[in-house]
Amino acid sequence: MSTTTPNVSSSIQPTTLNGTPKPLIRAVSSKFFIKSAPSLPPPADSYEPLVKALFRHRLQVSLFHSAIYVYIVVNLWTLWQAGGFVKVGFWGALWIPINPWTLSMTLLAWTSIAVPVAVLRKAFLTRTVPLNLLLLRH
């Protein structure tokens, strides 16, 4: 057995099992199939629907939350006006949230406070002509 190392040269090519050199593999460049970057869709197709969906969701959630807050405030105000929990009692405190007067006052307060704010916000977000120009045009 010999323990000699083979001569190493700078142009070593890998060989197959039978000793024949393997060809070096390289990518073949071609002018026929030039891949260009895909074109971006216009913002109206990709960005604007997402923004509109986000604003629609925010509007629905904010209207729902404002309705709950107004309902709580009107119930507490009605309970306070009736003399408090001590004067009304347990059953009266249970009747106040479902009382038709309380529900109608909640609806009246919500439509006069929260809905105009939402309508004005939506009108100013979607309008292209400023409101002062519309008012000056007669």
How far, in Å, CA of 42 to CA of 55, rounded?
Answer: 20
pLDDT at 119: 79
Global confidence as pTM: 0.55
pLDDT at residue 64 tops 50: yes
**Average confidence (pLDDT) over 65-89:** 93
The model's pLDDT over 13-62, given as tens digits with 9 standing for 90+, comes to: 566 667 677 667 776 776 666 666 677 777 777 778 888 888 888 888 88
CB 78 within 8 A of CB 96: yes
pLDDT of residue 10: 47
pLDDT beyond 90 at 68 = yes
In angstroms, the CA 96 to CA 98 distance is 6
